[in-house]
Amino acid sequence: MGSFLKKDLLVFWRDRKEVLLALFLPIVIIVVLNLAFSGLFDNDAESVNMNVGIVDENEHSTELEQFKLRLQEMDILEVEKEALINQASAIKPSELIVEFFNDPKLKEWIPYEKVSEAEAIKLVEEGDLDAIIKIPEGFTYDVLSSLLLEEDSSTPISILAAEQSMELNTLQNVVNDFIDTLNLQFALGSTVGADLEEPVLPQGGREVVEGVETFNISQYFTIAMSTLFALFIAQTVAMKTVTEKRERVFNRILLTNSNPLEYLMGKTLATFFLSMIQMLVTFAVTQLFLDVFPGKSLAFWVGVIVIIAAFALTVSGLSALFTSITLILNDSNAASGIFTMIVMSFGVLGGSFFPLQGLPVVFQKIGEWIPNGLTQTVLIKWIQLTSVQDLIVPIIILIVFFMACLVIAVTIFPRRGRV
């Protein structure tokens, strides 16, 4: 097997065009994208800045009274009414939002001022504000009915801005996350009332905020491009089989007593090492020249290498599968077409071309089942300092994916005499 591996690595290395494509193209693309986007987005996490105006049109006490009145009219037990009224009085939704934005960490990033709507629009037009968060009239009433009576809420918080931007997306996420967490907390039951005496900063929301601080677009490019190009390596190595058949060396291999599976394993291992090298080089170079991951610890880098290795394993499994398919199909154009389609759909679904984080949840969920999408998600989480435990399941999934591919590849690998 060692000789097969050595041969495959050598053959790859000699194909200078391929080497350039695999090693330098992703780096070039990352640099170009960075230059192209550096004017649009501020890459420096510290200076990510959004001036937000909070327009509070909510009339808390009036709406609370309305809600209480409604409860009184309802046909339920007095005790229940009592309890609900108590709970309702404890909840001050609009204040919670304001409190949330008062968090010193968040404030550093999104300073806000309370303004009237007319004033806010003027400030946005003048460029002094980047976005307006509008807490609409009826918000308290709506939130209370939604939380306590499980009715559909109809007056959502709206975010207004002069132009769409990456930061605006993030702001939207922050607010959505906050609302989700709020809902969750209430849904959790009895302790709610007590907890909310003191405005609580929902944990979920906070995490996202920290994420925003540490995850930026250059990091996305680095991760997306290196994983995408690793997938290309699976295709490239497998397609060498076509050359080996065309150049008849495959027959010469069959003339020996070597186990044909060694041939397959050589390809698999070669892909593992090549994609590993490719990704490590991409990370190393972008780090050296662009400082994509500033001030990260050794532990962070070890984690990155582990994740990359797991993904490289998956890519090598894919390459084994591609190799077997190439041998069965006997039609190199068809094979190449199929592989390009697979790799491209992995690229699209896995978020290599645009970040999944901005897309509807469905796409994010699909993306997390695509190896490169999963790897990307895990790496992004890892940048945001999740715990080591969070890496275990994704890595297991990647390894399972590798094994599945390999098993299929070995099963369909043509036996001698039929080739």
368 contacts 377 by C-beta, under 8 angstroms = yes
CB of 413 to another protein, least distance (A): 17
Phi, psi of 245 (to 5 degrees): -75, -40
Closest CA to 234 of 263, 274, 262, 280: 274
328 scored as a contact of another protein (CB under 8 A)? no
Region of 114-122, 220-228, 249-257, 306-314 interacting with another protein (CB under 8 A): 249-257
Chain residues 15-54 in contact with another protein, contact rule CB under 8 A: 15
The span of 241-249, 338-346, 380-388, 402-410 binding another protein (CB under 8 A) equals 241-249
Q: Does 255 bind another protein (CB under 8 A)?
A: yes
**Least distance to another protein, CB of residue 414, Å:** 12
Least CB distance from residue 417 to another protein, whole Å?
4
- Take residue 251 and report the two structure tokens written for it: 């027959």
Segment contacting another protein by CB under 8 A, of 183-191, 252-260, 278-286, 388-396 = 252-260
Q: In sequence order, what are the residues at sequence separation of 6 or more whose Cβ sits closer than 8 angstroms to the Cβ of residue 108? A: none
Strand-strand pairing, 52-56 and 158-161:
unpaired
Q: Which amino acid is at 161?
A: A
Nearer to another protein, 182 or 327 (CB): 327
Answer for which of 256, 297, 333, 389 binds another protein (CB under 8 A) is 256
Stretch that binds another protein, among 59-67, 162-170, 244-252, 292-300 (CB under 8 A): 244-252
**Chain residues 3-22 in contact with another protein, contact rule CB under 8 A:** 3-4, 6-7, 10-11, 14-15
Name the residue nearer to another protein (CB basis): 127 or 416.
416
**How many residues touch another protein (CB under 8 A)?**
25
CB atoms closer than 10 angstroms to residue 299: 10
Q: Near another protein by CB under 8 A, which window of 49-57, 142-150, 242-250, 388-396?
A: 242-250
Matching residue, tokens 């790859």: 12
Single residue of 155, 165, 258, 336 touching another protein by CB under 8 A: 258
Contact residue for another protein among 162, 253, 261, 329 (CB under 8 A) = 253
d(CA 161, CA 132): 6
Q: Which stretch binds another protein (CB under 8 A): 29-37, 177-185, 246-254, 278-286?
A: 246-254
196-225 binders of another protein (CB under 8 A):
none
Q: Which two tokens stand for residue 392?
A: 């275990």
Is position 261 an interface residue for another protein (rule: CB under 8 A)? no
Q: Which of 192/253 has CB closer to another protein?
A: 253
- Residue numbers at the binding site for another protein (CB under 8 A): 2-4, 6-7, 10-11, 14-15, 244, 247-249, 251-258, 262, 416-418
